[in-house]
Structure 1
Amino acid sequence: MGDAEIQGEAPRCVGCGRRVKTLFVQYSPGNIRLMKCDNCKAVADPYIECEFMIILIDLILHKTRAYRHLLFNKLHIGSSLDKGILYQSILVYIVVDAFRISVSEGNTADKNSSRSMLSTIFICSEVLGNSLLGNVVFMAILLLGVRYILKLSFDIMRYREVLLAVIISSYFKLFLLTMMVWEFPSSAIFIVEIFVLSSNVVALRVMTQFPKAHCVGICFVAHAAKHLTERWLLRTP
């Protein structure tokens, strides 16, 4: 077993999830040959030759093959490169969630359009704090569930991989930013959250290879704990 595979840096077959030595062989610029998986005998990663929109559509359709391509072969989760991606992803995740909370509060800003700059800064800080605390609860419940329900061995590297996969799979939250331009009914937020929940389940299954029911339970409890924290403890809608 090579050093890359020991460190979890080897790519994976998107079909069966087994590690492969290489995904393709390049003979010349623009001339490559896709390699087959020794386990399932299929092309290890056909997404290499696909356009981004095709990959995005398959991600939206929750295809595990697309998630394996994104997490293992594109972002190289498990390598030494994912630490910076993790910190950036957490920051973006919290900021977008803060925007969701502010949108959920309704038209408070319209009712108080004459408030001072200091008041605006205070409200923004409060919303950001609510988002931070809610997501701390979410991540804690998620990792506890992975530890005690899925019984994943205690390895800080593995927990970091799981956390990054779940955050990356919450990409549909970025749709909420379109509310800055277009108006949507409040039910759109609920639909986005349901989609994020189901996407998190697929990502967790890809990372842990555990039964779907267990992954659904962990993700549901983590999301429920976050929203209960925002509603009751922080008194946000």
Structure 2
Amino acid sequence: MSASVKIGEESLMCVNCGRRVNSLYIQYSPGNIRLMKCENCKAVADPYIECEFMIILIDLILHKPKAYRHLLYNTLNLKSVNIKGIIWRASLLYLLLDAFRVFLLKTSNDGWNSSRSSFMSTSVCGKVLLDVFLGNIAFVSVLLLGTRFLIDCSFSITSYLEILLAVFVSSFFKMYLVAMMVWEFPSHVLYIIDVFVLSSNAVAFQVSTQQETIRCIIICLSAHAAKFLTDYWT
């Protein structure tokens, strides 16, 4: 019986120990596969291959590094997908959700009525866009500078792209802002979502850099603090 092996030139990763692997499974026929084991930890390299999306999503919400390794390295494989296209789409969605967050925050703080025509006014839109632009410039700058000087100064461009992709993807908690279009929530819910985004970013950042947890938390916390202060200043 002939078998086909999925090979990623060591760009794939064992979700258990974080070591690079050549393949995740052997496919004998459509729907008939055998999961490969990691040579380092001797466990199945990626059991998420056989899991439903909801199980993966739940583990992402629970901040499990295994789920982030599966998503970032075995699903969004940089050597097999258009990384620039994914980053552009992820960053666009990230900025749109962030703009909605800023608008909700300003609506809560200033007492604006979202149903009024002022929402479409040039001054309101310009202020929201300015906050989003400056805040995220500060966020990305501190994130990359922290990576440059506190972790490894020899990182390549691809490594920085991996970090940006990890941060954008792990900010999926911002999707909960969409629920605020349907139901009314107190303003402090926005800050609760920010905390979840921060913690999720820290886990994804650690997975993408494979560095100490405390350093990853400090860098992510500093980046979010820079963004918060920029938003407060503007």
Q: What is the TM-score with the length of structure 2 in the denominator?
A: 0.90
Q: Equivalent pairs: percent with the same residue?
A: 54
* CA drift at 1:77: 3.6
Q: Is the 8 A contact 2:107 2:114 kept in 1?
A: no
3-state secondary structure, aligned to 1:54: helix
Unaligned segments of structure 2, at least 5 residues? 1-6
CA-CA distance at 1:79 after TM superposition: 5.2
CA contact (8 A) 1:15 1:65 kept: yes
Q: Which amino acid in 2 is paired with 1:136?
A: I
| Shift, 1:157, TM fit | 1.4
2:48 alignment partner in structure 1: 47
Compare 206-215 and 100-109 and name the one that shifted more: 100-109
Asked if 2 retains the 8 angstrom alpha-carbon contact of 1:104 and 1:186, the reply is yes
Instruction: Tell me which amino acid in the other structure corresponds to 1:175.
Output: Y
Q: Which residue number in structure 1 is paired with residue 74 of structure 2?
A: 73
After TM superposition, where is structure 1 displaced by more than 3 Å over at least 4 residues in a row?
Answer: 77-80
Residue number in structure 1 paired with 2:116 = 113
Equivalent-residue separation in structure 2 for 1:137 and 1:149 (angstroms) = 17
Structure number with the higher strand fraction is 2
Residue aligned with 1:72, SS: helix
Check 1:78–1:132 CA distance in 2 against 1; reply closer, same or farther (3 A cut): farther
Change beyond 3 A, Cα 1:112–1:18: closer
Whether the 8 Å CA contact 2:106–2:112 is kept in 1: the answer is no
SS at match of 2:14: coil
RMSD between superposed Cα atoms in Å: 1.9
The equivalent residue for 1:36 is: 37
Return closer, same or farther for 1:135/1:151 CA change in 2, 3 Å cut-off. same
Cα drift, residue 110 of structure 1: 1.8
Q: Number of aligned residue pairs: give it.
A: 226
1:70-104 Cα shifts (integer Å, max 9, x gaps): 00001114656211111111111111111000000
SS of the counterpart of 1:21?
A: strand
Q: TM-score, normalised by structure 1?
A: 0.89
Residue aligning to 1:125: 126
- In structure 2, do the counterparts of structure 1 residues 180 and 112 end up closer, same or farther at CA, with 3 Å as the change threshold? closer
Give the structure 2 partner of residue 223 of structure 1: 224
